[in-house]
Chain A
């Protein structure tokens, strides 16, 4: 292999990557936050005894888990705009797609966590006179959180990497910034190598954070 690396192109373009990284982090954090809320709502619907809510949540999970994120982003940004005239900003469209899909994944994680808390906990709480809301908020959910955290952290790592897909609708996040820099410099290998390393480093940080939380939880 007689390829010569020219990492000096980064001297000119590192600010581009930095700007992209900022957008990637921004999109990821907001999407994670929204996904947490969507996941909680959907999982509560899924576990409720109200049939319409159960059907709604099941459909939600099946649809958004089944649609490839790539297809979803294009469908929402281009398709929906054509038929309905609803035009989202690319960043907004990206956040909607990421949070809706991962909210669906999270709903299943939450459901499993909540169901893992024994039935006896519900019964004990009800028999002490707690309402269903207090039972959930004070007794069940705090116990479920311990079970939920590790898979949730894994899912966040997935979301963070998936955020690269929103480059297809022109969001200037890390991946798209390296594409642009590449097209200007004809140095794809350098830029994509650096981009890959950035993703790996941030993913490592997230998984360390997850480990820390898990450890902290199990110590309590």
Chain B
């Protein structure tokens, strides 16, 4: 079995004239946790959206578990293997917490409803929010909503989970409850790509930290090196700003 479950190969992405991803290449191994950081506008969120096909590529290729994103026929299969958690949670506001979680397994995986409910409750319990199963998302706190969003992603039994600044929209006291769920997930061996500025999280669970700037990957290293001995001045400058 191929070691690299994700291979990003020389990807270029433009938003009209603006080059947002400039020749980005990245390999991610199974069960690894990769943290991507960098200043806003550096292309890190766009990279995630390219990986699950929410944004198309201008050139290059992305191969997920042996399947190229360029082949439109693969798109759905790739998305079923990739869970995604967004900064703004993006729960479906017209569905209850439990419905949010079971809808996709029922429709997209053909799981029967009872089984989906049993599974959904297990996941809600795992993220510590079972008592809210019949509530609508709007009545939950940000941290609770984000945990539901993680459970919704996990309900699809993905091989990879992607997190796009999952704690950036949260009040400080809610960040921990979300990070705890993510840390547990990492320890369970999930392959994860996490765009975040939570450097404590990166230190604890990341196998690799990727620093992006102006659409390029400028540094890629293990946490000890990244924090202890960053190679690039840009990285040093960035770390000095966020680690205070």
Residues of A near any B CB (own CB < 8 A): 118, 120-121, 123-131, 134, 138-139, 142-143, 220
Given contacts A127-B82, A128-B152, A130-B104, whether A121 and B92 have CB atoms under 8 Å apart is yes
In the complex, whether B86 has a CB less than 8 A from a CB of chain A is yes
**Contact, CB under 8 Å: B76 / A124:** no
Does B211 sit at the interface, judged by CB under 8 A?
no
CB within 8 A of A123: which of B90, B92, B93, B156?
B90
Q: Contacts of B92 on A, CB cut-off 8 Å? A: 121, 124-125, 139, 143
The CA of A126 and the CA of B76, in the complex, are separated in Å by: 9
Task: Kindly state the separation between the CA atoms of A131 and B94 in the bound complex, as whole angstroms.
Answer: 19
Interface size class of B (residues with CB under 8 A): 20 to 34
A interface, over-half SS: helix
11 contacts between A and B (CB under 8 A): A121-B92, A123-B49, A124-B90, A124-B91, A125-B92, A126-B52, A128-B79, A128-B108, A129-B104, A129-B108, A138-B107
Tell me which residues across on chain A come within 8 A of B149, comparing CB atoms: 124
Q: How far is the CA of A156 from the CA of B52 in the complex (A)?
A: 42
Q: Which B residues touch A143, using CB under 8 A?
A: 92-94
**B36 lies within 8 A of chain A by Cβ:** no
B151: interface (CB < 8 Å): no
A127 adjacent to B84 (CB under 8 Å)? yes
- B94 to chain A: which residues have CB within 8 Å? 142-143, 220
Instruction: Give me 15 other A-B pairs in contact (C-beta within 8 A), A126-B54, A134-B107 excluded.
Output: A118-B90, A120-B86, A120-B90, A124-B90, A124-B92, A125-B92, A126-B53, A126-B79, A127-B83, A128-B152, A129-B76, A129-B104, A138-B107, A143-B92, A143-B94
Q: How far is the CA of A123 from the CA of B76 in the complex (A)?
A: 13
0/1 per residue, B98-115, Cβ < 8 Å to A? 000001100111000000
8 Å CB contacts to A: which residues of B67-101?
A: 76, 79-80, 82-84, 86, 88, 90-94
